A = this chain, B = another copy of it.
Amino acid sequence: MNADFVALRERLAEISDLHRALGVLGWDQKVTMPPGGAPARAEAMATLGRLAHERFVDDELGRLLERLRPYEESLPYDSDEASIIRVTRRDWEKARKVPTELRAEMIRAGVLGNQVWVEARANNDFASFLPVLERNLELKRRYVECFEWDDSPYTPLLDDYEPFMTTTEVAEVFDAIRPVLTELVREAPAVDASFLQGSFPVERQQAFAERVLETVGFEPGSWRLDTTVHPFCTSFSNRDIRLTTRYDERHLDSLWSTMHEAGHGLYAHGIAQGLERTPLATAPSLGLNESQSRTWENLVGRSQPFWTHWYEPLQATFPEQLGDVSLERFVAAINRAEPGLIRVEADETTYSLHIILRFELERKLIEGALAPKDVPEAWNAGMRELLGVEVPDDTHGVLQDIHWSYGGIGYFPTYALGNVISLQIWAAVKRALPDVEEQMAAGELGELSTWLRENLYALGRKLTPKETIERITGAPRIDPEPYLAYLRDKLAALPAGA
């Protein structure tokens, strides 16, 4: 093997280890750390982030990448080796533009900001969160200044989560779906879902979720499920997958939230071994990653076939609540469209409207058209306009999401892009596995999981998002049509007034 390539792999492995350590520290911070640990944790994470960044932007790494051009060109475009060199080079060129100190400061501010947010959200106290938002925006503005952009200063932020996509392209997709979604929501039939509110003991929710998770395609001993304030999924290798969720005795939302995180987890679990400890050991973009969390949450987890198998076990788990509710009423209820306040509890149809609001606010904040102090008012006005709901307090409004607390600005659009992409990929799944619905109805998710792993997850970040979508679907772009058709069909199939 090429000696320069071996040297490159060694350097990338070390940097990957630092990022994985950062991941463990972040998981622990959100899942287990006592609050007193926050200041030291912020320092430790900033140090790891700084070291990883310093080592990545090293001149010698650049020289290695330059010397490896002929080797790269001698190999197939999608070989592990050529892909590692090519993708690393783009990352390196991008990272070189950001001063190490700014990178460390963004991490430090993010950890501290996250702790403030937890309190602010609990106490409905936007005022205490405002300095965090201002600080994170200031750092993001300094970050944006490191890059060139054409359409909006928001584009460089977006590029961290959805590489190669511009603010204009996102706005085009959102402009296409927004009017359809608002109309669908307005015209959606009222569906009885009263039985989804009540008493669902947490231990039974947990046991049921773990039963389902055992069937989705994880190797035993390679994952775990914990509780946290704001559910997320992280991984420290393709055999150390951490799902998190939050339970509420009053409803079953945790189940779909868990399926959602399982989709992220399956992606990480499916990364090819040859990409481990390289920057390619992740999805090509958060949109693609999210397409899979939405696939497992919605296209699997809310589908009639899935519940054909799982509804009896669920009824047996919660007989008082669901014993008298038919499968048809249950499936209708979990597929209804009904505006609400909370993004992570939103149904499939309203979900992307929550995202469009956040995208528009973020864009205005970064473009200077909205002051941080005015965000609650703009949030509440947007909720009224897009979803027709009144926000009672900031805890159920602008403070509900974790992202702005740690500086995750530019992240939100990927959720809605994921919704859109998930249907493009699902169409490919149905072509490849014509009996996928029969399999789901028999409780068999293995073939689906394997197909997605082999055809999508295993690729990691070898290809760009658009190349990846093209390889799977044949279409070289994000196409909202399958998504809109799916929602239209789904809502049309709901029993009116059920």
Interface residues in chain A, defined as those with a beta carbon under 8 Å from any beta carbon in chain B: 13-14, 17-18, 20-21, 24-25, 27-28, 32-37, 39-41, 43-44, 46-48, 51, 219, 221-224, 226, 236-237, 239-241, 276-277
Q: Which residue of B lies closest to A277 (CB)?
A: B43
CB distance from A40 to the nearest CB of B (A): 3
CB pair B17–A47 under 8 Å, yes or no, is yes
Chain B residues with CB below 8 A from A27, complex form: 28
Tell me the minimal C-beta distance from A5 to chain B in angstroms: 19
Chain A interface, DSSP helix/strand/loop, else mixed: helix
Most buried by B among A14, A44, A223, A224: A44
Q: Are A21 and B36 in contact (CB under 8 A)?
A: no
- A107: shortest Cβ distance to chain B, in Å? 12
Check A44/B236 contact, CB under 8 A, given A21-B25, A224-B32.
yes
Contact, CB under 8 Å: A239 / B47: no
Task: Check A37 against B219 for contact (C-beta < 8 Å).
Answer: no
Contact status A47-B18, CB under 8 Å:
yes
Whether A222 and B47, one on each chain, are in contact in the complex, defined by CB atoms closer than 8 angstroms, is no
Asked if residues B20 and A21 are in contact (CB atoms below 8 Å), the reply is no
**Copies of this protein in the complex:** 2
Please determine whether B43 and A17 come into contact, CB atoms closer than 8 angstroms: yes
Query: A40 is contacted by which of B28, B33, B226, B239 (Cβ under 8 Å)?
Result: B239
Q: Which of A28, A37, A226 has the largest count of B CB atoms less than 10 A from its CB?
A: A37
CA distance A236 to B240 in the complex (A): 22
**Residue picked from A46, A223, A224, A239, most chain B C-beta under 10 Å:** A239
- How distant is the Cα of A43 from the Cα of B51 in the complex, in angstroms? 17
Task: Kindly state the separation between the CA atoms of A132 and B224 in the bound complex, as whole angstroms.
Answer: 27
In angstroms, Cα B21 to Cα A166, docked, is 36
A496 to B373, CA, bound (A): 75
Name the B residues within 8 Å of A20 (CB-CB). 40, 44
Question: Given A13-B43, A43-B277, A47-B14, does the pair A222, B36 have CB atoms closer than 8 Å?
Answer: yes
Tell whether, in the assembled complex, residue A237 and residue B24 are in contact, meaning their CB atoms are under 8 Å apart. Answer: no
Tell me the bound Cα distance from A241 to B37 in angstroms: 8
Min CB–CB distance A388 → chain B (angstroms): 41
On whether A17 and B48 interact (CB within 8 A), knowing A40-B240, A237-B40, the answer reads: yes
Q: Are B51 and A222 in contact (CB under 8 A)?
A: no
Let me know if B40 and A21 touch, CB within 8 A.
Answer: no
Known A28-B24, A226-B32: A37·B240 in contact at CB below 8 Å = yes
- How many Å lie between the Cα of A212 and that of B276 in the bound state? 45
* A65 to B21 Cα, complex, angstroms: 30
Q: Are A34 and B277 in contact (CB under 8 A)?
A: no
Q: Report yes or no: B39 in contact with A237, Cβ–Cβ below 8 A.
A: yes
Are A36's CB and B276's CB within 8 A?
no
CB-CB under 8 A from A21, the residues of chain B are 21, 24-25, 44, 47-48
Q: Given contacts A24-B28, A47-B18, is CB(A221)–CB(B40) below 8 Å?
A: no
Contacts of A277 in B (CB 8 A): 40, 43
Name the B residues within 8 Å of A34 (CB-CB).
Answer: 221-224, 239-241
Residues of B within 8 A of A41 (CB): 236-237, 240
- Minimum Cβ distance to chain B for residue A32 (Å): 7
B residues near A224, Cβ cutoff 8 Å: 32, 34
Residues of chain B lying within 8 A (CB to CB) of residue A28: 24, 27-28
Q: Is B226 touching A37 in the complex (CB atoms < 8 A)?
A: no
Q: List 11 A-B contacts (CB under 8 A).
A: A14-B47, A17-B44, A17-B47, A17-B48, A24-B44, A32-B226, A33-B240, A34-B222, A36-B219, A36-B240, A51-B51
Closest to A222 in B: B36
Extra 8 A-B pairs, beta carbons < 8 Å, given A18-B47, A21-B25: A21-B44, A21-B48, A24-B24, A32-B226, A36-B239, A40-B239, A41-B240, A44-B236
Chain B residues near A46 (CB, 8 Å)? 17
CB distance from A347 to the nearest CB of B (A): 32
**Which residues from B are CB-within-8-Å of A36?**
219, 221-223, 237, 239-240
B residues near A32, Cβ cutoff 8 Å: 32, 224, 226
A239 to B41, CA, bound (A): 10
| Chain B, Cβ-Cβ closest to A40 | B237
Smallest beta-carbon distance A254→chain B, Å: 20
